């Protein structure tokens, strides 16, 4: 089993959903990003997604897009992303890279898979890669035993869900709504139905992302999904903190609150 599969299985054995947290590498700086990710894991996150900063973040809302912009201005490179992944993996937490496809393609698919595996990374989440165009990545993921996480959406038909889940490994990312990332006042009404429809085509865990920002929402999603994915709320905590120590503390506090939420369900 991969580290991600192991984390989801351990959460299921405890009768709860897994908590998956997201942070972009290099924001507000490389050192603080690594410390914040480790604090997130220490406070209860089961899996951590590390965002690879990209100049055209199509599905990211203003909070993450602004953080990514600053990470790029700070000079964050793929090597920094891999260093962040390695720090998390070395601490014993499953680490995935969330990335648009262009940087991987430019780096070289096999090279990226090799270096990610060498850093202890569990795999990739690729929001803009379709199964039809994923051949090189699927082959590289098999070669280096990496998970490949694709997204399903409320608009996905049964046939499309079947095609997407067939190439997933680790878990399936269910985007709870159509649109960009960001916190919401309420969980999308389509989320539960999407999880149910996705489970008709796969035995993999189904984790819901987009919109969760607090313990109550985490508990609501954990009642019907195998995993709860939180990104913008963590990044906002980093961005609003007055200094690096405050940023790390904000992430730790939110992670503990969300971890209590997935356990409460």
Q: How far apart are the first and last CA of the chain?
A: 26
Q: What is the pLDDT of residue 102?
A: 96
**Long-range CB contact pairs, 139-143, < 8 A, 24+:** 140/109, 140/110, 140/112, 140/113, 140/114, 141/113, 141/169, 143/110, 143/113
Contact of 198 with 174, CB cutoff 8 Å: yes
* DSSP annotation of 226: S
Residue ranges of the domains in the chain?
Answer: 3-264
Q: Which of 33, 110, 61, 47 is nearest to 210 (CA)?
A: 61
Q: What is the pLDDT of residue 55?
A: 87
Q: Which of 246, 213, 239 is nearest to 71 (CA)?
A: 239
Q: What is the pLDDT of residue 176?
A: 78
Q: What is the pLDDT of residue 59?
A: 75
Q: Is domain 3-264 classified as CATH 3.20.20.70?
A: yes
C-alpha distances in Å from residue 124, one per residue of 86, 109, 209, 234: 14, 11, 15, 20
Helices and strands in the chain: count of H runs, count of E runs: 12, 9
C-alpha distances in Å from residue 187, one per residue of 219, 221, 263: 11, 8, 18
Give CA–CA dist 209/205, Å, rounded: 13
Instruction: Phi first, then psi: give them for residue 97, nearest 5 degrees.
Output: -105, 130
Q: Which residues are catalytic?
A: 49, 60
Given the structure tokens 């139905």, which residue do they identify? Answer: 193
Give CA–CA dist 230/178, Å, rounded: 16
Q: Spell out the residues 6+ positions from residue 243 whose beta carbon is closer than 8 angstroms to its own.
A: none
pLDDT in tens, the chain (265 residues): 899 999 999 999 999 999 999 999 999 999 999 999 999 999 999 999 999 999 887 777 889 999 999 999 999 999 999 999 999 999 999 999 999 999 999 999 999 999 999 999 999 999 999 999 999 999 999 999 999 999 999 999 999 999 999 999 999 999 976 444 444 454 556 899 999 999 999 999 999 997 899 999 999 999 999 999 999 999 999 999 999 999 999 999 999 999 999 998 6
């Amino acid at each position: 089993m991969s580290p991600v599969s192991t984390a989801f299985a351990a959460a299921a054995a405890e009768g709860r959903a897994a908590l998956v947290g997201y942070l972009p590498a290099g924001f507000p700086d490389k050192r603080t990003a690594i410390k914040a990710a480790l604090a997130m894991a220490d406070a209860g996150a089961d899996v951590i997604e590390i965002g690879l900063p990209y100049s055209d973040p199509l599905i990211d809302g203003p909070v993450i897009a602004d953080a990514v912009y600053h990470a790029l201005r700070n000079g964050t490179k793929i090597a920094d992303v891999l260093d962040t992944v390695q720090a998390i993996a070395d601490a014993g937490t499953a680490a995935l890279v969330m990335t648009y496809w262009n940087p991987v393609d430019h780096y070289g698919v096999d090279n990226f898979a090799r270096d990610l595996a060498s850093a202890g990374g569990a795999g990739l989440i690729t929001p803009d890669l379709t199964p039809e165009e994923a051949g090189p990545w699927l082959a590289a993921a098999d070669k280096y035993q990496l998970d490949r996480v694709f997204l399903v959406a409320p608009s996905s038909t049964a046939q499309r869900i079947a095609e997407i889940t067939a190439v997933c490994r680790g878990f399936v990312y269910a985007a709870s709504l159509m649109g960009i990332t960001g916190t919401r006042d309420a969980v999308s009404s389509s989320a539960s139905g999407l999880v149910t429809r996705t489970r008709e085509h796969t035995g993999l865990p189904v984790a819901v992302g987009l919109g969760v920002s607090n313990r109550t929402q985490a508990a609501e999603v954990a009642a019907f999904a195998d995993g709860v994915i939180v990104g913008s709320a963590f990044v906002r905590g980093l961005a609003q903190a007055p200094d690096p120590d405050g940023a790390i503390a904000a992430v730790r506090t939110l992670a503990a609150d969300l971890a209590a939420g997935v356990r409460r369900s």
